[in-house]
């Protein structure tokens, strides 16, 4: 959450546009406000604006600034409302600072600085850090000493990027839990992720927790937590980091939905399941959040039914706080698109620290992400950069890897999986108009229910999550059999009920659940296949998908759920790619 960027350039020509370009690639991390500060001939200047980046761009056009070193920030508010005063960079007389993370001891630091006579203009935790460094400088410290003293006293999670009035052409940056990447190329740069700086550099270095760097016009030096200089390995910038833009599509979400056949194809080609992956594994523990958690829920059905391995799926945010016991022989699987969700990272670390015998596997869409680096084994989903805040193609790629694990010794299912990109293409082209009509029917609904059973239950949850997060319509997914234990009370003629009913093992049970819903409400919509089409009469609204092997149905049935959410949100005129209050990468607990 929050995107930060820093660029050191020899010339004044393009620093502001380079920072803005970097921020535009980081807006997925937050878009409550944005700001930029530059240093020019010993002058720190700053512009900030509430709302999306374009507001900052407009401001810069009216009131330009220029410099040879610049830092920028796009915010997802934690401490203090999204106002201009709370927008980063935080600036004092001598220092400008951007921050991603949360400073936990900000209150005591602030109280002490107020006692020393310092004033604050924002409600943020970050301003305390800037003012603390200012206080060090006022007491005679050099900028380097001020930065180091600050690192010794702050507690919490952070990626900091700072510039000092008296230090031309140098950026100081440090990391604890929140990501920082340093880029080497035509300009030296710093960013929250590699793709934000990929256009400016050929090689990158990932800072680790506790490390800090001083980045100058042509180089960077790195220090460990004791401030001893260290060497860091550079890595080449690869094509998959480059965001190719919207192309012919009006929104990234639609583009990414349409890219799913390729995401599956590439993920299959890129991954091979080691023969010994499940050797001596007596239990699987899946840790994830949100959509990735639902991918884990699907996998649980597969792992228990086909591999016969007891499997737990845990919401990472809840998991470690109940101090669970981890048995020997547990394979821990962390699933994450971004590779930096703090809840997932911490839950995986908790599992490892509780039982050092367990192996930790990460499924990540981002190469070299914190979670990928923390695991013993990594499978990368090859969905490509996902920009839309609502995850679609990354989920599909996660299901692909999980299916490869679950069905590693069932060649007939693996063949179906290899053929799935064609089915995916078919679904995308065949249901489009029907989903469009359904969206017209549903976009004024107050609330919508999604029902599924077995591996389609997590898809019902995912369908509801997609809808609520981008269209702001209340939606809930239920296990269809659980309806009669309470939620059925909600059903009346005004409540649309979306039912996922392919002809698989639990088909008959699901048919009964749907009949029960239909007896109580007239707006029941069934997603099914040719068998379901015959089973349900013409009084049902039906959308018929191809007949698919039972193992692949979750991958197939999520596609119309994504499209439906997308089309409803577009009809409502919502900002599909940047829904309110959300950010793509969640690095706060
Ligand atoms: C919903 C969505 C989120 C993420 C969740 C975990 O569309 O994208 O629910 O799935 O925040 O993020 P990752 O997968 O990056 O760990």
For 494-525, the pLDDT digits (tens) are 999 999 999 999 999 999 999 999 999 999 99
pLDDT tens digits for 135-187? 999 999 999 999 999 999 999 999 999 999 999 999 999 999 889 999 999 88
Q: What is the mean pLDDT of residues 428-444?
A: 96
Which contiguous run of DSSP H or E holds residue 33? strand 33-40
Q: Give catalytic status of residue 2 as yes or no.
A: yes
Same domain? 198 vs 305: no
Percentage of the chain beyond pLDDT 90 is 87
SS3 (DSSP) at 501: strand
DSSP single-letter state for residue 492: S
Same domain? 116 vs 183: yes
Same domain? 573 vs 485: yes
CA distances from 339 to 30, 99, 293 (A): 17, 19, 13
Same domain? 101 vs 225: yes
Same domain? 114 vs 220: yes
Same domain? 114 vs 38: yes
Q: From the alpha carbon of 585, which atom of ligand 1 is closest?
A: 15
Q: How far apart are alpha carbons 303 and 273 in whole angstroms?
A: 15
* CATH number, domain containing residue 458: 3.40.50.10490
Residue that is last in its domain, among 389, 423, 457:
423
Q: Give catalytic status of residue 584 as yes or no.
A: yes
Cα of 358 to ligand 1 centre, how many Å?
A: 25
The torsion angles phi and psi of 130, rounded to 5 degrees, stand at -65, -45
Q: For a pocket test of ligand 1, which of 29, 30, 290 has the largest count of ligand atoms closer than 8 A to its C-beta?
A: 290
How many domains does the chain fold into?
Answer: 3
Cα of 394 to ligand 1 centre, how many Å?
A: 9
**Structural domain harbouring 29:** 3-241
Q: Which of 2, 136, 173, 501 is catalytic?
A: 2
Cα of 584 to ligand 1 centre, how many Å?
A: 7
Same domain? 236 vs 280: no
Cα of 322 to ligand 1 centre, how many Å?
A: 22
Question: Which residues have any ligand 1 atom within 6 Å of their CB?
Answer: 289-292, 336-338, 341, 344, 390-391, 465, 469, 586
Q: How far apart are alpha carbons 480 and 449 in whole angstroms?
A: 10
Residue 417 above 70 pLDDT?
Answer: yes
The torsion angles phi and psi of 336, rounded to 5 degrees, stand at -160, 135
Query: Is 588 among the domain residues?
Result: no
Same domain? 255 vs 233: no
pLDDT confidence of residue 14: 80
Same domain? 126 vs 161: yes
pLDDT confidence of residue 584: 82
Same domain? 289 vs 355: yes
Same domain? 370 vs 501: no
Residue that is last in its domain, among 206, 241, 276:
241
Q: Which residue has the tokens 């803005």?
A: 20
Q: From the alpha carbon of 338, which atom of ligand 1 is closest?
A: 15
Other beta carbons within 10 angstroms of residue 62's beta carbon come to: 7
Nearest CA residue ID for atom 11, ligand 1 = 290
Residue that is last in its domain, among 423, 439, 459:
423
Percentage of the chain beyond pLDDT 70 is 99
Q: How far apart are alpha carbons 65 and 400 in whole angstroms?
A: 48
Same domain? 232 vs 264: no
* CATH number, domain containing residue 87: 3.60.20.10
């Amino acid at each position: 959450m929050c995107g930060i960027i820093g660029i050191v350039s020899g010339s004044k020509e393009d620093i502001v546009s380079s920072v803005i370009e970097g921020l535009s690639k980081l807006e997925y991390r937050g878009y409550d406000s944005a700001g930029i500060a530059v240093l020019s001939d010993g002058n720190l200047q700053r512009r900030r604006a509430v709302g999306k980046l374009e507001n900052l761009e407009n401001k810069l056009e009216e009131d330009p600034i220029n410099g040879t070193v610049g830092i920028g920030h796009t915010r997802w508010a934690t401490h203090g409302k999204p106002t201009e005063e709370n927008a980063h960079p935080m600036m004092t007389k001598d220092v400008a600072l951007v921050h991603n993370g949360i400073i936990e001891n900000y209150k005591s630091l602030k109280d002490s600085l107020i006692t020393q006579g310092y004033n604050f203009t924002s409600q943020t935790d970050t301003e305390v850090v800037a003012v603390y460094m200012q206080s060090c400088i006022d007491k005679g410290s050099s900028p380097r000493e001020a930065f180091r003293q600050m690192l010794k006293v702050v507690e919490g999670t952070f990626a900091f990027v700072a510039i000092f009035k008296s230090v031309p052409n140098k950026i100081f940056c440090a990391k604890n839990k929140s990501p920082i990447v340093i880029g080497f190329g035509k300009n030296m740069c710093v960013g929250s992720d590699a793709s934000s700086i990929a256009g400016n550099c050929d090689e990158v270095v990932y800072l680790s927790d506790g490390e800090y760097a001083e980045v100058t016009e042509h180089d960077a030096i790195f220090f460990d937590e004791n401030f001893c200089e260290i060497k860091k390995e550079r890595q080449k910038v690869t094509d998959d980091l480059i965001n190719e833009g919207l192309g012919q599509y009006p929104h990234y979400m639609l583009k990414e939905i349409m890219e799913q056949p390729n995401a599956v194809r590439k993920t299959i080609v890129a991954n091979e399941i080691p023969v010994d992956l499940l050797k001596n594994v007596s239990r699987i523990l899946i840790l994830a959040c949100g959509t990735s958690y639902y991918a884990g829920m699907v996998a649980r059905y597969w792992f228990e039914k086909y591999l016969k391995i007891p499997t737990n799926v845990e919401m990472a945010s809840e998991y470690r706080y109940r101090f669970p016991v981890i048995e020997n022989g547990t394979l821990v699987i962390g699933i994450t698109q971004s590779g930096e969700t703090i809840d997932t990272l911490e839950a995986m670390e908790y599992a490892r620290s509780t039982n050092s015998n367990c192996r930790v596997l990460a499924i990540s869409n981002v190469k070299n992400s914190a979670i990928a680096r923390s695991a013993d084994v990594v499978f990368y989903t090859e969905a490509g950069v996902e920009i839309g805040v609502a995850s679609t193609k990354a989920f599909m790629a996660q299901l692909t890897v999980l299916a490869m694990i679950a069905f590693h010794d069932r060649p007939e299912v693996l063949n179906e999986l290899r053929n799935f990109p064609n089915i995916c293409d078919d679904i995308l082209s065949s249901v489009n108009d029907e989903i469009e009509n359904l969206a017209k029917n549903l976009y004024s609904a107050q609330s919508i229910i999604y029902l599924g059973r077995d591996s389609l239950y997590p898809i019902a949850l995912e369908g509801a999550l997609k809808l609520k997060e981008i269209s702001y319509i209340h939606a809930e997914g239920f296990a269809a059999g659980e309806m009669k234990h309470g939620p059925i009370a909600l059903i009346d003629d005004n409540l649309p009920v979306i039912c996922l009913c392919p002809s698989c093992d639990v088909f008959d049970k699901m048919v009964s659940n749907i009949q029960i819903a239909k007896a109580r409400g007239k707006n029941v919509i069934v997603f099914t296949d040719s068998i379901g089409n015959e089973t349900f009469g013409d009084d049902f609204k039906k959308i018929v998908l191809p007949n698919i092997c039972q193992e692949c149905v979750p991958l197939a049935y999520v596609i119309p759920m994504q499209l439906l959410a997308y089309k409803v949100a577009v009809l409502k005129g919502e900002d599909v790619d940047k829904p309110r209050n959300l950010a793509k990468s969640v690095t706060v607990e």
